Amino acid sequence: LHLFNNNLTGQILISFGNLTKLTELYLFNNQLSGFICQELGNLKSLTGLALYENNINGLIPASLGNLSNLTLLYLYSNHLSGFFPQELGSLVKPTSLALQENHLTGSIPSSLGDLSNLVEMRLRINQLSNFIPQEIMKLIKIKDLVLSSNNFSSSYPKKHV
């Protein structure tokens, strides 16, 4: 379902959660507002979820961690807030995770180090803090890791030889 670049307004429909055979939900570059509904976690066939460049706020629902076929998760350039959901670390197949330019707080979950297929992770321009977890060094396929403009401590993980 590709509805990007349409100047859509309003909230993401809860009824999208009933489209269980859907493989792509691309609603980016609209004027959507409100929350990401937890019902999107029912879309087990979803490989791509792109909601970037909207006015979406609130938390990233933990239910997105149920999307076992998801390879691309783009939620950047919204007004998402709260802690980075630990459940995203249980995704099986993601290659691209882009959550930059939001208001996410707290630590990067160490479980993200288990995303062995991750090639791209962009978390810049948030309010993430504490340490960058050592587990990030397990991301051996990563080519694009952008963590700038956050509130991390001065320490960074070191690769063990």
Distance CA 94, CA 13 (A): 24
* Dihedral, CA of residue 77, residue 81, residue 86 and residue 88, to nearest 10: -30
Whole-number pLDDT of residue 155: 62
Query: Quick check: is 161 in a domain?
Result: no
Whole-number pLDDT of residue 37: 95
Q: Which domain holds residue 123?
A: 14-146
Query: Quick check: is 157 in a domain?
Result: no
Query: Quick check: is 158 in a domain?
Result: no
Strand pairing class (48-50; 79-83): unpaired
Whole-number pLDDT of residue 161: 42
The helix/strand/coil state of 68 is: coil
Distance CA 107, CA 78 (A): 19
H helices then E strands: how many in the chain? 0, 13
β-strand partners of 106: 128
Domain harbouring 80, CATH code: 3.80.10.10
Kindly give the confidence (pLDDT) of every residue in the chain, 161 residues in length, as a single tens digit, with 9 standing for 90 and above. Answer: 999 999 999 999 999 999 999 999 999 999 999 999 999 999 999 999 999 999 999 999 999 999 999 999 999 999 999 998 889 988 989 999 999 999 999 999 999 999 999 999 999 999 999 888 889 899 999 999 999 999 888 666 665 54
- Based on its alpha-carbon atoms, the radius of gyration of the chain, rounded to whole angstroms, reads 15
Whole-number pLDDT of residue 131: 85
What is the H or E stretch that residue 56 is in? strand 55-58
Whole-number pLDDT of residue 106: 92
Q: How many domains does the chain have?
A: 1
Whole-number pLDDT of residue 154: 64
Query: Quick check: is 6 in a domain?
Result: no
Query: Quick check: is 37 in a domain?
Result: yes
Query: Quick check: is 159 in a domain?
Result: no
Query: Quick check: is 44 in a domain?
Result: yes
